[in-house]
Amino acid sequence: MGFVSRAYAQYPCDTLIHRTSTIPRIAQVGASEVVMGVVDFQVHVTEEEVYAEWRFLPCFEVSRFVLERSRNGFTFEPVGEVQHLPSRVANKYRLTDRHRWGGVTYYRLKLVSAVEQVEYTSPVAIRVTRKRLVLSPNPWQGQGRLSINASLPGQECRIVFLDFSGHLVYESLLQEPYFALPEEQFEPGIYYYRIYTPLEVLGQGKWKVD
């Protein structure tokens, strides 16, 4: 049956359009979407992290909030959660994603009642511009390990090398920012490298072997 509101006589909620015993799934309050009592769900990007903020109206029942994220807008995973603090006024909440993804990420809020009934806000898409990954040393002397100039993303990451004619020379899974190459496969010359995940290219360029 969905989430049920508290008695309006005890907790007035004049901003709501519909005054019924069952909470409307989505209502409009000014320019803000209200989903089961959540108002102004917003996701912000800083240089270090992504965080979500929202307000929750006092005349709705909920036990906890779970922030979720997704690469494609369909399959979500939890980032963190916070317990609801009952109040006579609209409380403001915040949850932070300290291990953000590069590229486009979808965030939504999961509302869980005391009896484990669940509702969701509409997903919000944000874009994080990741520092482009660069291979070094460049040029390479044909021996010794190579390195990437920044930390690798959380999802599967690969590197591929092509010769000047565009033929595949070598491809490997990248698990650490430092790695070794099979020296016998690289003759002196110019190569192209690309560092990528299934969803985006993280870095690419020319690379020379002396």
- Residue 10 resides in a domain: no
> Do 58 and 118 share a domain, yes or no?
yes
45 DSSP β-pair partners: 50
Strands 189-196 and 201-209, bridge-based pairing: antiparallel
CA distances from 204 to 122, 128, 168 (A): 35, 18, 15
Greater model confidence, 132 or 23: 132
Q: Which of 24-38, 49-63, 88-102, 160-174 has the highest mean pLDDT?
A: 160-174
**Residue 71 banded pLDDT, cuts 50, 70, 90:** confident
- Asked if pLDDT for residue 13 goes beyond 50, the answer is no
> Do 153 and 198 share a domain, yes or no?
yes
Backbone phi, psi, residue 185, to 5°:
-90, -5
- Asked if pLDDT for residue 137 goes beyond 80, the answer is yes
- Residue 163 resides in a domain: yes
- Asked if pLDDT for residue 129 goes beyond 80, the answer is no
- Residue 52 resides in a domain: yes
- Asked if pLDDT for residue 122 goes beyond 50, the answer is yes
State how many domains the chain has. Answer: 2
Please tell me the least confidently modeled range out of 52-56, 57-61, 149-153, 194-198.
149-153
pLDDT confidence of residue 26: 31
> Do 110 and 142 share a domain, yes or no?
no
Give the pTM: 0.56
Host domain of residue 62: 27-128
- Residue 5 resides in a domain: no
> Do 175 and 100 share a domain, yes or no?
no
pLDDT confidence of residue 27: 31
Q: Which residues contact 158 (CB under 8 A, 6 or more apart)?
A: 171, 172, 173, 174, 195, 196, 197
- Residue 17 resides in a domain: no
pLDDT confidence of residue 5: 38
> Do 157 and 202 share a domain, yes or no?
yes
> Do 100 and 118 share a domain, yes or no?
yes
- Residue 84 resides in a domain: yes
Measured CA to CA, the distance from residue 50 to residue 61 in angstroms comes to 27
- Asked if pLDDT for residue 30 goes beyond 50, the answer is no
> Do 42 and 72 share a domain, yes or no?
yes
